[in-house]
Amino acid sequence: MSTPFDIGKGISENISFMTRVGAECDHLTRLIREELSRLLLDPELVARYRAAGGWEDADDYDNHDWVCTDRAYSLPMTIRPKRQASRYLAFQLSLTGIGVEAKDNVEPLLHIAWWSTPIDLGDTKMGFPLEPGGYDLTLEAERLFRWSHPQGDTEWCYSVRLTDINSPLDVQTSIVNPVKALLLNDQAQALVGTASVRYVAVEGEPGQFQALPR
């Protein structure tokens, strides 16, 4: 049986652990923003895209407003020769909640997206089950979610498990390099060989997907 001392000690230790997790998440999201911003200086990408502003951020909390469950960042992008932003290069870090509720997933996820609106963690967020939102939703190569519009516009998103991103090299391998390849060639093959999560559709549950083991 746990004593009041054991319970109190456990509470303090768990809160201390959460603050350490939060600090690590802050460091990681800062690194991702810096590396993606640096990526956009690549001549191949400069010829096609231009950042149309700074990074926009959003947070979401649990029902009691005690714990931050999600954090997202979105960068407005102009597709040349247009002059106004029409896409957002975005990523969403989800520790719990619908952002991680793919079937059989029990881990925090990092979603990397190319969407027409910023992730505000209100009306716009990555979560399960997925909603087509007026687009045709497909899963390519088990890794890349794609929303296609009849007019030819497409949006995409893929996921990595937070615990698979442990170093600057991991950021390059599973985030920066695939994003560059997707922006240039728009092929799901860019995710093969990365730590991106593999999914399969769940039969009988529209919009729901199962996360496959590593």
Alpha helices in 118-185 (DSSP H): 168-171, 177-185
Alpha-carbon span 110 to 174, nearest angstrom: 11
Mean pLDDT of the chain: 94
Q: What is this structure's pTM?
A: 0.94
Alpha-carbon span 116 to 88, nearest angstrom: 6
Residue type, 149: H
Question: CA nearest 32: which of 77, 92, 116?
Answer: 92
Q: Indicate the pLDDT class of residue 83, thresholds 50, 70 and 90.
A: confident
Q: How many structural domains are present in the chain?
A: 1
Question: CA nearest 159: which of 214, 87, 207, 121?
Answer: 214
Instruction: Residue 60: give the domain boundaries.
Output: 4-211
Alpha-carbon span 149 to 86, nearest angstrom: 14
Q: Which two tokens stand for residue 28?
A: 């990681």
pLDDT tens-digit readout, 91-114: 999 999 999 999 999 999 999 999
Q: Which two tokens stand for residue 49?
A: 């895209």
Alpha-carbon span 162 to 158, nearest angstrom: 13
Q: Which two tokens stand for residue 10?
A: 């456990």
